[in-house]
Each structure stands twice: as C-alpha cells, then as structure tokens.
Structure 1
Amino acid sequence: METKKVWFVTGASKGLGLALVKKLLQQNYRVVATSRNSQSLITEIGDASENFLPLEVNLADDKDVKSAIAKSVDYFGQVDVIVNNAGYGQIGTLEELSDKEARENFDINVFGTLNVIRNAMPHLRQQRSGHIFNISSIGGYSGNFPGWGIYCATKFAVAGLTESLAEEIKDFGVKATVVYPGYFRTDFLSKESVRTPENVIEEYETARNSEQAHLDEINGNQPNDPDKGAEAIIAISEVENPPVHFLLGSGTDEYLNNKIKLITDDAEKWSELTFSTVI
C-alpha cells in the first residue's frame, strides 16, 4: 500500500488551516501542524500520534522554523506538501499604520512564508518531489479594499514570490501554487483575530466604513465553507500538473474579471503614451 504523503501546515489551530489538517487526517495523510501555541492544536486535534505531530513555532524566527522542519523530517522521515497558511489581517490605511504595525504584518505573512520555503526546499529538492501551497487572499490579486493596503501588499508579495518560486523549483520536480481564497466563514474577521490601527485618522471615512462592514456585516456571513476549501486544496495536490494560480471560493471570479477589465481598459486608453517611448 502506498505510504501517504507528509503535509506541513502552518497556522493550523483555526480557520482554513484547522479544516485542512482535520480533512487530511481523515484521509490518512500524515500531518505536521504548527501554531504559536501547540496546546491549541492538541485541544482541537489531539496529541502526537503516528500520523500527527503538533509543533509550536514562531514563524518570524528562521532558526525556529528550521528546527520545526528538522523535527518533521526526523518524525516522519520526509516532508512532501508545504502549506504556508499562517497570517493575519491588519486593517488601517497606509498613512495610519505605524512602521511597526506594517512590518509585523510582513514579518508573519511574507517573511514567515519565506522562512518555511527556505528551510523546506533542501528536503524537497533532494527528494526531487513536493508541492508548496502559499495561501494568499483575493486581496493579493485585487487591492481595491480601502483600509486594507498593508494586508493586501503582504498578499501581493506572496503571489509574486510564488510565481518566481514555481519557475525556480520546477527543474527539481517540485510544484508551487498560490491560493487566493475569497470570503470563508472562519474567525479571520473576528475582533480577536484582525488587528486595527493604533492611531486612527477619522478623515478616512471610506476606510472606516470598509472596516465596519468587514467586522460587523461580512464577519459570520461569508459564503464559503472552510471544509470544502480544504477539500479543494487536497484535490489540487493530487493532480499531476497543478495550477500556479488557484482562485478559491465563490465570488473570486468577480474580482478576477473586474481586474482584467480595469487593466485592459487602462492599457487601451493610454496605449499612445505607452508606445511613445520608441526611439
């Protein structure tokens, strides 16, 4: 019987990450799950077993991430599928957010992802196989969410680095996919999870309206089921030629089409200036 692949999933104590870990274990995959607090993983899923290893990891600490990958390989003998799911939402306009607030969001959402990639790739490269999923957001494809600029910037970065990663690692038989989830019914938008600006500038009325809509109206009413999202990611992992870009969830096609139209319209409108640079 074929030995099931080993998955390494960050941000696994809640939301899409937790749903994914539970689905994987139900399907007899072997899973390493990480969180800032390992007890939360044990409470939700259980103690370490022959198929499950919960780890407490600070993703912003490269040495801690390196140790976690090493523990995973020691425990299961290999890693096969990496899911960089950990991250958080930072609300606030670009003027409002302090340097510290902005950098902390990048530290987890971007540099945490890079730390995992950097330390997992030697193993994937050596075994000449593997798949890296980087969880972005529909806000990493379309940035027209007032008051979410820094968060969107982190998720755009995740999308951009995944495109490059896919080209860099394909010769080793390793795949890379950036996932753009839409609105899923998790606690991502809860007041306990999302961060708001420490120094609010009231003049940004549009941003405040967007913030309140997300926290008070959209939260709890998201149209997508995280269990079904997890099933879709597992399905993508099992195909021979997975996509580099994967839109996940109802409503994402609207953002796709709107952005394509916006860029195309601008390109056509300003084409004369665009090509005015020819010598």
Structure 2
Amino acid sequence: MTVNTKKVWFITGASSGFGRCLVTEVLGRGDRVIATSRSWKSLEVLEGTNENLRVLQLDVTGGPDIIRAKMAEAAAFFGGLDVIVNNAGVNYLGMLEEGGSPYLRKQFDVCLFGVRFLNPGAKNVMDVTTAALPYLRAQKDGTVIIIGSRSAWIPEFPVSPRLYSSSYASAKAALHALAEAFSGELAHLNIRVLLVEPSAFRTGMASAEGFMDGLERKDRIPDYDLPRNKTLDLFKAVRSQPGSVPGDPVKAMAAVVDVVRGEGVAVGRPWPTYLVLGKDAEKAILAKTEKLKNHLEEWTDVVRGVDFETVNVT
C-alpha cells in the first residue's frame, strides 16, 4: 500500500455507468481516484472538482506499451496505486452461427485483450492489469477488481428464456476464469482479486450505439428468429422503460468499496473473491450449480468409473 493511508484507485471506464458511480463513492469515502476514459470530453466535467481526483485520458485498446506509459503517469499522481478497477461493459448481441468466429473473436478482444478498431469503450483487462501489477508487487499489497457478469453463468437457453447473449456470456466466462487465475497467482504477494458478478443494472448499456446490430444483421438465419426476436423484444422494452431494470448501480458500487475497505457490509467477513450483486445473478448461479450437482449425482458411476484398475505390485 502507498505511504499515505488513503487508497489510490485507478478506474477504467469512468465516464458513465458503474465507473462513474464508483468514482463518486470512492471520493466520498476519502480515498483518491485516477479516473480514466478514452474520451477526454467525458472527463472534462470531472477535472478540478475534487483534490483527491485526477483524470487521465486512456485508450485501453492502444496496446501494452501505451498502457504501461499511462500507468506510470497515473502512479506518479499520488505516489502509487492500490486498487485497479477493470470496468468492462461492452456487449455484442447476436447468434453464434450467424456471427461465426469473427464476431465471437471481436467480443473476446473487447473483454479480454483489446483491438484499436473495436468499440472505443472497450476495457482491456489483460493489458491494464499487467501494467499495474509491477506497482502492486513492489509494495506487496493491492487489489485488482474485475467487473464480470451473471451472463457467464447463463449462456444456455433453458436458464435464460428471454435473453440470447451467447458471445458476451462466453467472453465473460473467460474473464471469470482469468480473474480466478490471477487470484491464485497473486495471493502469495498479498494482492487480492475481486470478481464482481452483477445482474442487470441501470447503467445505460442497452442504449449504447450498435448494441443490437448483431441481432438486426441482414444475413439472418430464419431458424434463429424465435430466440432473436425474444432478445430484441427484451432490450427494446428496456430502452423504452429503463426504469424497469431493478439494479441500482450506486448501491452496487457502495458494496464494492465496502469490500475493498473492509467497511459497512464487509465488516467481520473474510475476503470474498466473488461479489455477486443482484437477485437475478443469485438465481442464475444457484440454477447452474444445481444443474451440475444433479449431473454428478445422475452420472456418478460414469464419473468415477474411468480410472485404470488398481494394480497391486508385490
């Protein structure tokens, strides 16, 4: 941790949604924030509003060298870094067969790696995290936060009858595995990882430009019209009635800050690694774990029956 008792937070995607709510919450607790966004225009309104806030234009799809240079600039603002927040939130809807590997690769690039020509709001979790880790390793202390999604638990139709977001769910599942892998690798260095798994929140994602392009493509396969139309109807309803989305992003980010600082809802509780936010996320995880439990019980003889026979050596 830095010498100053105030934690220094580096937050990507701070111009709106979870990122902006998190900036406000962290500053309200007295910590320091480096708020980043690709668009300087979206950060101008924040500049100079709080002595504990610095803003930094950062194109996280610019590649490892650019991100490392920006991270060094960020670390110089307050003399260090303590909490790195990967606030990934881009969703490309569409049917897997229609989009094929190029569309799926596009989603993975956005969520995990980052490619310059993709959506400018993309958050490159891998490059941002690895650029920050030298600072956290040097002080043998720190926190990496990765904003995942309940979608990682519900890519299949029976669990989510109204929503087909297969490419997004697949990328988020990979992101979850990445967070767990980092958690294991960094534990001995006293660097904690928090995987946040939210339900649907009023962050404005469904109103983003190009959000439903993959569902409205011209080369549609008629066999997928049923799931496609259900998903289109769902998000059109959300756009027309944003108040129907139950999740409050302010409350969600307050819980995240509680966990990192050991305050509020986190008092007396061990580090969770996972932070599930919202009833729908809870429902999705319980449904998936029950499904897997049932499989193991039904197929126990097969699960346990594929080892070599025990050979007794005399």
| One-letter amino acid of the counterpart of residue 234, structure 1 | V
| One-letter amino acid of the counterpart of residue 139, structure 1 | S
| Dislocated runs of 4+, deviation >6 Å | none
Contact residue 6 and residue 79 of structure 1 kept, 8 A: yes
Matches within 5 A, 1:1-279: 3-43=5-45, 45-47=46-48, 50-60=51-61, 61-111=63-113, 112-144=124-156, 145=160, 147-192=164-209, 194-197=211-214, 198=217, 199-219=219-239, 220=242, 221-239=244-262, 241-279=270-308
Deviation at 1:48, TM superposition (A): 7.4
Deviation at 1:50, TM superposition (A): 3.4
Deviation at 1:49, TM superposition (A): 5.6
Contact residue 223 and residue 250 of structure 1 kept, 8 A: no
Give the gaps of 5 or more residues in structure 2: 114-123, 263-268, 309-314
Q: CA 1:132–1:207 in 2, change beyond 3 Å: closer, same or farther?
A: same
Q: Which digits, 9 at most, give the CA deviation of each residue in 1:83-116, with x for residues without a partner?
A: 1003301101111225443223222211210101
Q: Which digits, 9 at most, give the CA deviation of each residue in 1:119-160, with x for residues without a partner?
A: 111100101110111000001233225531111111111110
Give the gaps of 5 or more residues in structure 1: none
Contact residue 31 and residue 52 of structure 2 kept, 8 A: yes
TM-score of the superposition, structure 1-length normalised?
0.92
Deviation at 1:22, TM superposition (A): 1.4
Q: Which digits, 9 at most, give the CA deviation of each residue in 1:199-255, with x for residues without a partner?
A: 433321233134224312245111110100110000010128421111012322211
Deviation at 1:261, TM superposition (A): 1.1
Distance across 2 between alignment mates of 1:84 and 1:195? 24
Deviation at 1:170, TM superposition (A): 1.0
Distance across 1 between alignment mates of 2:59 and 2:100? 22
User: Which protein shows a greater Rg?
Assistant: 2
SS at match of 1:12: coil
Contact residue 59 and residue 108 of structure 1 kept, 8 A: no
Q: Percent identity?
A: 29
